[in-house]
Chain A
Amino acid sequence: MIKHYVKIAFRNLAQQKVLTGINAFGLSVGIACFSLFLLYAVHEFSYDRFHTNAGRIYRVVEWWQGEGRAPGGSGGMYTPVAEAMKRDFADVEYAVRLKGADCFMKAGDRIFNTSITYADNSFFNIFTFPLIYGNAKTALQQPDQLVITKEKALQLYGTTNVVGRILEIKTDSAFEPYTISAVAENIPANSSVKFNLLCSFERIINHPEVQKSNKDWYMTIGLEAFVQLKPGSRLAYEQNRLDLFRKKYYSEEQKPRKKGKKAEKKKEPEIQTSFRLQPIRDIHTNPQIEGGTDPKNIWLLITIAGAVLLIACINFTTLAIGRSAGRAKEIGVRKVMGSQRTQLIGQFLAESLLLSVASAITGLILAHALLPLFNQLADRKLSFSLSRFPELPWLLVGLTLLVALLAGSYPALVLSSFKPILVLKQKIRVGGANLFTRSLVTLQFVLSIGLIISTIIILQQLSYIRSKNIGFNKENVVMINAQGIHSKKIYPLYKEAIQSQSGILSVTASEMGLGSGEGQMGWGFTDHLGQVKGVIAYPGDYNFLNAMGIQLVAGRNFNPSIASDSMGAVIVNEALVQQVLGTTNEKALGMEIRNAKGDAATKKIIGVSRNFNFEDLTHTVRPQMFYRPAILEPSRIFVRLQAGDPRRHLALLDANWKKLVPDAPFEYHFLDEKFDNFYKNEKRWSAIAGWAGGISIFLACLGLFGLAALAAVNRTKEIGIRKVMGATVTNVVALLSKEFIMLIAIALLVASPLAWYVMHDWLQAYAWRINITWWVFAVTGFFALLVAVTTVSVQAIKAALTNPVKSLRTE
């Protein structure tokens, strides 16, 4: 029987090649899209689950809670805490400190920039990072030992078996030898704990800064602490024990803050600080703790993925109904011949199962082929690794069956229930262009139109903030990394060497970088109301403002011939004048401002610069100041080039660099790209939304195509009659398109306010934002209509050109 079903199914599918093809292709695309998005989501939620003891590993975080600020935490931990926890809590099995640092490594005569991680010996007891070579127990025993990843080993030596080799590494001032003790498998992409080179914490324990931090329980040096609890321990949920621990080492926090009046107490926000244990699996997706991503975005993606799949399934159903529409008669005959209803249902399900299995296979192949492109889009390194996601095949098999059942059951049940006589007499229309399928198609267009509107608005906002004059000129500026070199000496030499060359407009330097990932330095200043305000500080060269194109609105620039300019003179921005000083630009000149802590010298204002923004434009301009330190030790050198092809200039910069600093690579970024990187996420999301929108409108059109075909079939006779009555081709096309245009119009009406609401919400995050304009909706609507009308017209024209004699003959 089943063989019979399959045989007939094959024959039926082959008979309607175009519709079958569209049907299968649409589902394939949907499944491909869905599996990629799902892969991404699974990846995001799978972070740090691969550790054998993942359920018992926790990161120690500091948690703030209190009036006037949202509760949140940070994984930045104080140096002595990990050891103290191990000592004080019997249920802490292992504790580990991790500290990362930038370094240079030398292999032969080549020098690479990379990162090194210092970790306590217990590292491999806690984390599951398999070693290819070497022994986990002894790999970090000696302070000159180094564990290297397979990837780095290949990069350096072209081979993986490199245990025993000596690698020279420079973290401070000179290269020092390390012995490679082990080679680790590459770190999984879904790991929060990452390393390239791993070294014992012993190595830096005597470093003065680390020493200091080991005694000072308030000093952070960018270190993280992890603990592994013994099985059965509930320490992470026994906050009172952790609070007692905090009390023990931070006794002064428990003292009452002020013995003043109650009114005064109210003014001072009360912030409670505590230690907490954050499950390692929670790190990646907990936005409350610094560095965690918001799972809202992942859920959004899953929703989009679900929507696209839903669209594909809806299509599959409408098209399956469409395909079966022409077969009403066959069913009638079969029924008269005594076919059981169950047999008919079996026949239809066999067809849709066959088709959906084929689509699923094609879809997976498609997904596999598109993975590299998707990885680029999502900025991830995803792979369809069965070992990492053992659930994946089951998920997909289940999905395929579900789709087949959903798509097959509607036509199966509806068609098999026809009264045969009615069908044979063609008295009833095949359920197809009914309310159900119409709603489905409308829903598809709601989703597609919504996604497209969102994409356009994201793109508009992106181009707006990119084009927005941020107060200085970031084009054609090369930012050179001067970290880890003797920049105090080298910078003046380098400047001297290049500044008079043709094509080099100006050279300056700062102890701070600019743009995404460069961080900021700031101090608290007491404002005119007595409150502490953060001020961002830029220690730079005399000509920094000029070179960057920052304009002064009052006062003067730094002048190398005025000695006091490198001793306490500052140029501040308008925001500082308004928010901290509460005065006017002119009055601010000559004023002195004092660091809130009082441990730095007083600053005297010599100039006020126009407001500009060194941050991403979700922020408004914050108070900023510039000064020329007495001894300038830049970490970044900025070179403004003449506009045009930069290759010649870059070669010049590189050559001069090599002459002066042969032991550090010439590493640079273009400043405008650095600023563009602030919007990497936005770009990624607009790309994803754009693709999803494009795919969904494509799928929706497939559905529409099927529906139009169905309508044309169902209305063959009517069209014939109308033509006999004098209808032209245009009349017929208009007739058939009219109702679909209605559907699109409804979809536009539903999608527009939805998209407006979501995007309006999204835009609120930006201090500088566009207004959503009506024409975005108009253009999208017009586009959707155009695409839909074109799709429908293909069918409509075909129907309109059919000789009416033929359509009326079928009696």
Chain B
Amino acid sequence: MIKIRDLEKIYRTEEVETVALNKISIDVKEGEFVAIMGPSGCGKSTLLNILGLLDDPDNGSFLFNNIEVAHFNERKRAELRKHNIGFVFQSFNLIDELTVFENVELPLIYTGVKSGERKKRVEEVLDKMQIMHRRNHYPQQLSGGQQQRVAVARAVVNNPKLILADEPTGNLDSSNGNEVMSLLTDLNEQGTTIIMVTHSEHDARYSHRIIRMLDGQTVLENIMV
């Protein structure tokens, strides 16, 4: 599903030049659950953003479903992204002014799903995440675990093939974290590919494979058994 080769990303500010990704190469197959680990600042988020088509690499090749997307422009990336990829962030990134229902509904609006269909699908996924009773609440009224469940619901409502999660448990206590992890595992078992950045060895164990990074490169891969 994903095949990147010698990918480079360099951030240039006035004085410093940061090599965030240094000729990194990774493969992810459909249906895999991959964890990415590494010290802070080693380029995990950068990698995830590129994989999620939010950002473009400076060099290298990126095949997404066998299509070269490294040089896609913003509009093409957005088109591909909104039908194929869901995101979960450490800080949830819910919109405070919208209710739980409206937050989850958002990706469906932007992919042009009709309102009746939207309602059905949002309710379905809220049910699955067991937060149906909170549908009319605002994010600030929910606990962290509940917020992250909403974020996961929002990520999967479009039935994406790939979910990218950047430290999804980073802001949660362990019981809430475990809950989110089991949600992701369930999704993976139903066929969704998952790439997750984490600092927690415990969470990483839910995955099939751990990619360890340092200074913008992969240094080690552990296959879980």
Interface residues of A (CB under 8 A from B): 717-718, 720-728, 731, 803-805, 808-809, 811
- In the assembled complex, the Cα of A684 lies from the Cα of B51 at a distance in Å of 66
- In the assembled complex, the Cα of A731 lies from the Cα of B81 at a distance in Å of 16
Choose among A718, A720, A726, A804 the residue that contacts B97 (Cβ–Cβ < 8 A): A718
CB neighbours of B49 from chain A (8 A): 805
Contact between chains at A803 and B107 (CB < 8 Å): no
- In the assembled complex, the Cα of A722 lies from the Cα of B91 at a distance in Å of 15
Closest to A719 in B: B95
Least distance between B119 CB and chain A CB atoms (Å): 17
Least distance between A382 CB and chain B CB atoms (Å): 52
Q: A722-B110, A725-B110, A808-B93 are in contact. List 12 more A-B contacts (CB 8 A).
A: A718-B96, A723-B78, A724-B52, A725-B154, A726-B78, A726-B82, A726-B107, A726-B111, A728-B78, A731-B110, A808-B89, A811-B91
CB neighbours of B154 from chain A (8 A): 725
Per CB-CB distance, the 3 closest pairs between chain A and chain B, nearest first, are A726-B82, A726-B110, A725-B106
Chain B's interface size range is: 20 to 34
- In the assembled complex, the Cα of A728 lies from the Cα of B87 at a distance in Å of 17
Chain A to chain B contacts (Cβ below 8 Å), 25 pairs: A718-B96, A718-B97, A721-B94, A721-B95, A722-B95, A722-B110, A723-B78, A724-B52, A724-B54, A724-B87, A725-B106, A725-B107, A725-B110, A725-B154, A726-B78, A726-B107, A726-B110, A726-B111, A728-B110, A803-B54, A803-B55, A804-B54, A805-B54, A809-B45, A811-B91
Contact between chains at B55 and A805 (CB < 8 Å): yes
Least distance between B210 CB and chain A CB atoms (Å): 24
CB neighbours of B45 from chain A (8 A): 809
Does B133 count as interface, using CB distance less than 8 angstroms? no
- In the assembled complex, the Cα of A808 lies from the Cα of B48 at a distance in Å of 13
Cross-chain pair count, CB within 8 angstroms: 43
CB neighbours of A728 from chain B (8 A): 75, 78, 110
- In the assembled complex, the Cα of A717 lies from the Cα of B92 at a distance in Å of 12
Contact code string B52-96 (vs A, CB < 8 Å = 1, else 0) = 101100000000000000000001001001100001011101111
CB neighbours of A725 from chain B (8 A): 82, 106-107, 110, 154
Closest to A720 in B: B93
Contact between chains at A717 and B93 (CB < 8 Å): yes
- In the assembled complex, the Cα of A718 lies from the Cα of B95 at a distance in Å of 6
CB neighbours of B94 from chain A (8 A): 721
Contact code string B107-141 (vs A, CB < 8 Å = 1, else 0) = 10011000000000000000000000000000000
Closest to B154 in A: A725
CB neighbours of A805 from chain B (8 A): 49, 54-55
Least distance between B166 CB and chain A CB atoms (Å): 9
- In the assembled complex, the Cα of A792 lies from the Cα of B87 at a distance in Å of 30
Closest to A723 in B: B78
CB neighbours of A721 from chain B (8 A): 93-95
Contact between chains at B75 and A726 (CB < 8 Å): no
CB neighbours of B93 from chain A (8 A): 717, 720-721, 724, 808
CB neighbours of A731 from chain B (8 A): 110
Which among A718, A721, A804, A808 has the highest number of chain B CB atoms within 10 Å?
A721
- In the assembled complex, the Cα of A739 lies from the Cα of B45 at a distance in Å of 34
Contact between chains at B110 and A727 (CB < 8 Å): yes
Least distance between B41 CB and chain A CB atoms (Å): 12
Closest to B89 in A: A808
- In the assembled complex, the Cα of A162 lies from the Cα of B196 at a distance in Å of 100
Which among A721, A726, A727, A731 has the highest number of chain B CB atoms within 10 Å?
A726
CB neighbours of A717 from chain B (8 A): 93
Closest to A727 in B: B110
CB neighbours of B107 from chain A (8 A): 725-726
Closest to B105 in A: A725
CB neighbours of B95 from chain A (8 A): 718, 721-722
CB neighbours of B75 from chain A (8 A): 728
- In the assembled complex, the Cα of A805 lies from the Cα of B47 at a distance in Å of 12
Closest to A722 in B: B106
Closest to B92 in A: A721
- In the assembled complex, the Cα of A805 lies from the Cα of B97 at a distance in Å of 21
CB neighbours of B81 from chain A (8 A): 726
Least distance between A556 CB and chain B CB atoms (Å): 81
Which among B49, B52, B93 has the highest number of chain A CB atoms within 10 Å?
B93
- In the assembled complex, the Cα of A364 lies from the Cα of B113 at a distance in Å of 58
Closest to A728 in B: B78
Closest to B95 in A: A718
- In the assembled complex, the Cα of A811 lies from the Cα of B89 at a distance in Å of 11
- In the assembled complex, the Cα of A811 lies from the Cα of B55 at a distance in Å of 18
Closest to B53 in A: A724
- In the assembled complex, the Cα of A157 lies from the Cα of B51 at a distance in Å of 90
- In the assembled complex, the Cα of A728 lies from the Cα of B76 at a distance in Å of 11
Least distance between A728 CB and chain B CB atoms (Å): 7
Least distance between A432 CB and chain B CB atoms (Å): 15
